[in-house]
Each structure stands twice: as C-alpha cells, then as structure tokens.
Amino acid sequence: MKQATEIKATAIFRVIGQPCWGVPSDDARRAHPYKVCWNEETGLWECECRDGQFAAGRGQSANCKHVRAVMTSVLANKAQAEKPAVAREARGSMRREIKMEGSVPMR
C-alpha cells in the first residue's frame, strides 16, 4: 500500500483552549483524528502519527502530512479573516447622499 503525501480530509478541527487541531486520518481503520499541536515551549510541531513520534524522539519538529494540513488551514483561515476588512475599506461607506426632487429620489 502506497502512503499518500498529503491529507485528503476537508475538515480540520481546532481544539478549544489549546494550540492543537484534530486532523482526520486517511485510513478508514482509524476511528479518531490525529492530534496535531504547536508546542510553544519548544517551538516545534507535534503529531500523534508515526512520523510525528519519530521526529519527537529526535527532538525535531514533525513535518508529516497532518502538520502540513494544519499549517495550510491556519494560513487559509488567516487570509480569510483579513479579507473582509480590506473589502470593507475598498467599498467605502454604504451611505449615499440621496436628494429628493419632488417625489423622485435622485443621487
């Protein structure tokens, strides 16, 4: 069986109150998602998968497909959060001056 290099999951879940995410497994036999965390003390990514455990044993940041999926999700969410603020500034005010001439509104 060939290992996939990237995750196929479309939903990555943030763990409330922790810098951790749940990433569903591509393996149908695994019922629960892998837990991926950012360790602020060490400055390393950690994952429960075999690659993540191997990296942790060597004192390295995990660079598995689960961590890459979280990094992609975080960057996408950050870009999406910044997008509406820029769009509002570009649109300007929603208020327009409308004059009434007779009973017909005019701009």
Domain contains 52: yes
Number of domains in the chain: 1
Q: What is the pLDDT of residue 44?
A: 94
Q: Is residue 103 part of a domain?
A: no
- Chain position carrying tokens 């409330």: 16
pLDDT of residue 67: 93
| Residue 3 placed within a domain | no
Cα–Cα dist 96/106, whole Å: 11
* Cα 70 to Cα 86: distance, rounded to the nearest angstrom: 25
Residue 85 lies in a domain: yes
Q: Would you state the pLDDT for residue 68? A: 92
Query: Is 6 part of any domain?
Result: no
Q: Which domain holds residue 65?
A: 13-90
The answer to the question of residue 105 being in a domain is no
Q: In which residue ranges of the chain is pLDDT below 70?
A: 1-10, 83-107
Decide if 98 is inside a domain.
no
* DSSP one-letter string for 58-104: TT----SHHHHHHHHHHHHHHHHHHHHHHHHHHH--S----EEETTE
Domain-embedded: residue 74: yes
What pLDDT shows up at residue 39?
93
Residue type at 84 in one-letter notation: P
